[in-house]
Each structure stands twice: as C-alpha cells, then as structure tokens.
Amino acid sequence: MTHVYGVRPLQVGRHYEIDYVHSYGEVSDFFLGLKDHKLMATRCERCGATWLPPRRDCGRCGGKTVWFEAPQEGRVHTFSVLHFAAEAFLADLPFVLAYVELPGIDTVFLTRIKGCKPEEVYIGMPVRARFRRLVDWTPNDVWFEPV
Amino acid sequence: MRKVCVVSGGITKFAKANLLTQEAMVKDAVDYALTDLDGRLDYKDIQSTICTYFSDHFNSQLLFDSLTQDYLAMCPRPSMRIEGGGATGGLGIRAGYMDVASGLSDLCLVYGFEKMSEVSTAKGNEFIALASDTDFDYPVGGFYSGYYATMAMRHMHEFGTTAEQFALIAVKNYDNAFHNRWAQKHERWTLEGVLKAPMIATPLTRPMVCVMSDGAACLILCTEEWAKKLRPKGDYAVITGVGCGTDTMRLGDRPHGDVIPLPGEDPAKYSYLKGRWPGLHCFRAAREAARQAYQMAGIRDPLHEIDFAEVHDAYASSELQTYEDLGFCLYGQGGRWVERGGPYLGGELPVNPSGGLIACGHPVGATGIMQGVFTLWQLQEAMARHCSDPAQGIDGGKIQVAGARRGLCHSHAGTGTYITVNIFERPQ
C-alpha cells in the first residue's frame, strides 16, 4: 500500500534497503587487532611515515608499508561535544568525538572519549585506549578514556 | 588556451523543499539565464553541457544527468556529469572552462541541482557523512558538522580564535541575505542570539551551520566572440583564474609541514607556524587552489586585487579558516580580520555579499554554480535587478559591491578534500 503525504503535487512514500558484504581487505588486521586489544598501524618502508588507521601503501610516497603495534596512551589533539549526529547515531547523543595523538604515529586517530563528563575533555588531555570485550568489527571496538 | 567568458546565469529560489521535480527546477534556472539574454541566445546554439549534482542517495535515481540532458532537449549534444561533494559546482565551472578553453565547445551550459528534502534531516546528514571514510570515520559517529567542529576547536587552540568571531560571520551572512530574494533564509540574528542557539557540535551552534536545501543553478560559458554577441554592451565576465586542490580523505591524516606560499610570497613569513601546517586547522587544498588561480590571474596581493569573494561557508568557522587560506589575512589572523570589519560589505574585501551558504542554503550540486551566478551579477552591477523583490521590501542593491571588477568564487568539498577557486573579472 503506497503511503500518500500530499496531493497537489502528489507525494508518495518509497522504501529502499541495501545489505552489503563488505571486505576490509588489506587492512583487516586492524579490526582483528582490536579483538586482541591491539592498535595495529603501518609504517612506510621507503619514507618512514606511520599510519593509523593503517594503509598498505603509503599516502605520502606510495611505498609499501609494514605492520606494527601502536602505543595505546596519548593526548587529545582536538575534540567536539556532539549534540546532533547522522541518523544512525542519534541514540548515542551527546558524545565526544576526538582526534588522539599517539607517540610515533604521524596521523591523529579519530575516536570517542568516554569515562568522563564531556565538559571535562580538553586539548592535551592524556588518554588511553579501552577495548570492547565483545567486538562488533568496527572502529567502535576501541575508544579512549582519561588516564 | 582560449579565453572563456561567462555571459548569463540563472537560479531557483533555494528552499527547504521544492516540490517540482529536479529536472523542472533545472529548466527554470536555464530559462532564467536565457531570458536574461533577451532572446539573443537560441537553445540550439548551446553546444555542450556539464551537469553537476552530488548525491544519488538523495534521489535514488542514478544517471540523473541523462534524465536532465534529455529533459533540457539537449540530446544528442555532448555532456559530462561532474561530482565532487560540496565542490561539485565549482568543479562544474572548472569542467565548463576546460570544455571551452580546449576548443571542444564554443558555448557550454553548466548546470547543477540538488533535492535534499525527500529524506529527513538526520538521514540527509547520514548521506552526507557517507562522503567521509566509511570504514574508519563514519562508523565512530563522524558527520560533517562534527568534523568541522573539531577543526574549529583546533583553530581556536592554535590561534586563539573565539566562538564570538565565528558567530560574527554567521550574523554577517544572515544580514546580507536579507537583501537577496533568492536566499532560503531571511532572518535577523544578533551575536548573542547565535551564541545562545542550540548547539550542534561544540563550538558550532545551529545558525553557524548551513542548511540543506532544494535548488538549481546554471551558468552559460562561451568564447569571447560569443560573449560580445550575447552581451553587446560588454557586460560579460572573463574567467581569468582557475585552481583546484585536494587533500586527504581522513582529516586525521592531514600532514604537518610547510605552508604552500601564494605567488610572490616569501615562505619565511610563515615560520611562526613552526611547520605545523595544514594539520586540522587549515585547508591545504584551498591554499593550493588559490595559488594556481592567483598565478593564472596575475594576482600578487589578493586583499587589494580582488573586490569581493563568494566563499563556501558551510560552517561559519570554515569561512574564517578560508580567509587565511585564500591569503586575505595571515594564518591565525582570521578572527581579528572579522573584528576589524574586513569581510563586511564596505570592508576591505566583502565575503559572501549574497549571504553565502549559511543563509542562502546549500543544495549541494547547485551551490558552487550559485556562487558563480552571484559573482557574475556583481560584476554586471546587476544585483539590484536580479535580487530585489519590492513586494517583500527586498532591495538587492544593498548587497551590490560598488565598482566590482574582479570576484573570486571558492567551492569546497568534504573536510577540504576538493577545493576550487575560480576568478571572474570584467573584460579589460
């Protein structure tokens, strides 16, 4: 039965759903690493750039990379307290989105800060990684809390 | 390469919901542009088209460009669809420029559209968020207002920029849009009102964020020979500078290094940044696009050699950041430049005299072209004629930049993954 929202012009409901079988491909070890409570990063063999999230091929020079374990303690590089989000995350509001600096890692890692009030978060705050016991195979299997 | 001119433009009134079909909206914009040429351009003279729209998700109609090409009675002429997130329109102007400059076409219709109203705002935010890394960023709850907010927070940390300075920009754009009949929003905001409005993601409140919109816009690009025929009074624009920059998909992957200097600049002037550029606080792609466009247009002092700019203010904070990337002021001085009145009408370099995305609306595929239309109308000194609505007491003349000879339009995608700068000027 088609749902009608208006008549002139005629507005009707239309529904569409998609299920994917998505491959994480060459970065699968990052997600598998979360299950083992590890943050798996890559380092370029040619120029030394380090990547978290990891890349098989270096984003600076195109060289091939090797895996290594990233440290799990760092500092908040920047953050924001979200009061609105994409539809899939409305139920989580409010939450703190943050980029975390980790020693030896050239990139900053996008994550959520939990374990404190949102107003307690500040740039430079020392934080450490925490991992889900029952993983969901997404980057939400890790988050950061104040040290 | 051949000179490329802009002779006419058309837009629809941007609105939260436009219940016409996308193809009809596009036709209305095209008809407006043709009507403005007083019958001097016949439909059959259009040799090629460029179609720009962003998201198949909003419409669930793929190949919409084939549908519109057909609806516009343009078949079998050549066409191309251009897409690049929020920079879709600016990239469309670039593609149209390439079409004419290369000699492949003498007269190209560049048109763009977006209809975002057929899904809820939250769903719309979700679609737009799918234009960020869907393996690592989106799943954490990343969405565009969130990413920009983290960038604004870092800019505040690096340079002492304040939420008040961002809020001033929102107020400026709403004030300008009040005199623009095409703008989606005709609202008056005070600084205090903006700061106290509902928070979207700290420090960005609702009025500091652009609105989703339905709309269409078009520009007619052509050779100078055609321009002289279509605008016998010489009121056409020449595209004198074209630039495009890109940057990493994930904001967290932005490098820390040396600033790309603008033409004529001594890199030493940026030593105070200590090699921490662009990081998450500056847009490398905007700086690169500006460098190319200024080089082409022979601009060495943007603040004094450009008369006005239409800049992609999806967020009041990104407009401030962009002042610095485009060289209107030094990196870190954006907030002080706003407080000194720099980007206001009557200021050193009016930015978004039209009201920008914040007040006019952001129908993604049309936005970059809309900016081009306002830029053309400024140069033609036609803002009063096109933007007024006496019945509503709207006087477009209030947002006319007097004596405008050279304007810049800046279109921006993602977190600065694609940025285009196009410079239009009056012929010599």
pLDDT in tens, B272-285: 999 999 999 999 99
pLDDT band at A86 (very low <50, low <70, confident <90, very high): confident
Residue B51 contacts residue B112 (beta carbons within 8 Å) = yes
Instruction: Kindly report the number of other CB atoms within 10 A of residue B255's CB atom.
Output: 18
Q: How far apart are CA A95 and CA A118, in angstroms?
A: 7
Which residues of B are less than 8 Å from A123 in CB distance?
153-154, 157
pLDDT band at B248 (very low <50, low <70, confident <90, very high): very high
Helix/strand/coil percentages in chain B, nearest 5: 40, 20, 40
Nearest Cα to Cα of residue A124 among A140, A107, A147, A143 = A147
ipTM rounded to 2 decimals: 0.95
Q: How far apart are CA B216 and CA A65, in angstroms?
A: 45
Interchain CB distance below 8 Å, B141 and A92: yes
Instruction: Kindly report the number of other CB atoms within 10 A of residue B192's CB atom.
Output: 11
Give the mean pLDDT of B113-139: 91
pLDDT, mean over chain A:
96
Structure confidence at residue A90 (pLDDT): 87
Residue B56 pLDDT more than 90?
A: no
Residue A134 contacts residue A77 (beta carbons within 8 Å) = no
pLDDT band at A87 (very low <50, low <70, confident <90, very high): confident
Which residues of B are less than 8 Å from A81 in CB distance?
199, 201-202
Q: How far apart are CA A115 and CA A53, in angstroms?
A: 23
Residue A57 pLDDT more than 90?
A: yes
Structure confidence at residue B399 (pLDDT): 98
Instruction: Give the whole-number percent of chain A exceeding pLDDT 70.
Output: 100
Burial B118-140 (b: 16+ CB within 10 A, else e): ebeeebbbbbbbebbbebbbbbb
CB–CB contacts below 8 A, A to B: 116
Tell me the nearest-neighbour CA distance from A69 into chain B, angstroms.
Answer: 17
Tell me the nearest-neighbour CA distance from B255 into chain A, angstroms.
Answer: 7
Phi-psi region of A106 (alpha: psi -120 to 50; beta: other; left: phi over 0): alpha
Residue B184 contacts residue B359 (beta carbons within 8 Å) = yes
Structure confidence at residue B254 (pLDDT): 97
Superfamily the domain B242-425 falls into: Thiolase/Chalcone synthase (3.40.47.10)
User: Quick one: which H or E segment has residue A44?
Assistant: strand A40-44
Interchain CB distance below 8 Å, B252 and A110: yes
Residue A56 pLDDT more than 90?
A: yes
CA B178 to chain centre: 19
According to DSSP, the β-strands at B308-310 and B406-412 are: parallel
What residues does each domain of chain A span? 23-146
Sign of CA dihedral A86, A92, A93, A96: negative
Which residues of B are less than 8 Å from A84 in CB distance?
125, 145, 200-201
* Closest CB from B142, B154, B248 relative to A78: B154
Interchain CB distance below 8 Å, A140 and B280: no
* pLDDT tens, position by position, B171-216: 999 999 999 999 999 999 999 999 999 999 999 999 999 989 999 9
Residues forming CATH 3.40.47.10 domain(s) in chain B? 5-119+213-230, 242-425
Residue A34 pLDDT more than 90?
A: yes
Structure confidence at residue B126 (pLDDT): 86
pLDDT band at B408 (very low <50, low <70, confident <90, very high): very high
Interchain CB distance below 8 Å, A78 and B151: yes
Interchain CB distance below 8 Å, B141 and A85: yes
pLDDT band at B338 (very low <50, low <70, confident <90, very high): very high
Residue A138 pLDDT more than 90?
A: yes
pLDDT band at B60 (very low <50, low <70, confident <90, very high): confident
B interface with A, Cβ–Cβ < 8 A, is 19-20, 60, 120, 122-123, 125-126, 129, 133, 135-143, 145-146, 149-154, 157, 198-204, 248, 250-253, 255-256, 280
Give the mean pLDDT of B374-380: 98
Tell me the nearest-neighbour CA distance from B411 into chain A, angstroms.
Answer: 23
- What residue type is assigned to position B423 of the chain? I
Q: How far apart are CA B332 and CA B154, in angstroms?
A: 11
Interchain CB distance below 8 Å, A123 and B19: no
Q: How far apart are CA B242 and CA B288, in angstroms?
A: 11
pLDDT band at B389 (very low <50, low <70, confident <90, very high): very high
Q: How far apart are CA B213 and CA B208, in angstroms?
A: 16
DSSP letters for B245-260:
EE--SSGGG--EEPPP
Instruction: Give the whole-number percent of chain B exceeding pLDDT 90.
Output: 93
Interchain CB distance below 8 Å, A82 and B149: yes
Structure confidence at residue A85 (pLDDT): 86
Which residues of B are less than 8 Å from A70 in CB distance?
none
Interchain CB distance below 8 Å, A86 and B141: yes
Question: Which positions ≥6 away from B310 have C-beta within 8 Å?
Answer: B351, B352, B353, B354, B356, B371, B372, B374, B375, B407, B408, B409, B410
The backbone torsions φ and ψ at residue B295, rounded to the nearest 5 degrees and listed phi first, read -60, -45
- CATH topology (fold) of B5-119+213-230: Peroxisomal Thiolase; Chain A, domain 1 (3.40.47)
B83 three-state secondary structure: coil
Structure confidence at residue A115 (pLDDT): 97
Residue B340 pLDDT more than 90?
A: yes
* pLDDT tens, position by position, A3-33: 999 999 999 999 988 999 999 999 999 999 9
pLDDT band at B59 (very low <50, low <70, confident <90, very high): confident
Q: How far apart are CA B387 and CA B399, in angstroms?
A: 9
Structure confidence at residue B127 (pLDDT): 87
Residue B111 pLDDT more than 90?
A: yes
pLDDT band at B57 (very low <50, low <70, confident <90, very high): confident
